[in-house]
Amino acid sequence: MRVERLALLFVLLSVCDATFTVCFILGGYGTKANPLLRGLTGHLYLLPIVKFVTAAVITSIAVIAERRGQAWGKYGLVACIIFYGGVLLWNYKELLLG
């Protein structure tokens, strides 16, 4: 798979994770577990923005690395996609099963 498609998938998964987090917090179902982002829970509109910008920076670095012929960019994106896929599956489980 091309690195650009992997980058897009990673950004979309990151934004989905942020959306789930905001919905859970607003619904009173949970709190942010990540201590680096926990401070943003008072300003929930910032959380998706920070997650999107962070994902965009990571994907930019990975795409640049891939275009320079370094395979770690693609492998790093695959690792991030697997991680966020697991996080979203966990979120779905919590949403459906409690």
Rounded average pLDDT per 10-residue block, the chain, 98 residues: 88 86 77 66 76 89 91 90 88 77
Structure confidence at residue 81 (pLDDT): 92
pLDDT of 34 reads 67
Integer angstrom CA distances of residue 81 from 14, 77, 87: 9, 6, 10
pLDDT of the residue at 37: 64
> What is the reported pLDDT for 31?
65
pTM of the predicted model as reported, rounded to 2 decimal places: 0.77
Decide: 90 and 78 in contact? Cβ < 8 Å: no
Tell me what pLDDT residue 19 has: 83
Domain holding 33, by residue range, is: 3-97
In total, how many domains does the chain have? 1
Residue 90: per-residue pLDDT: 85
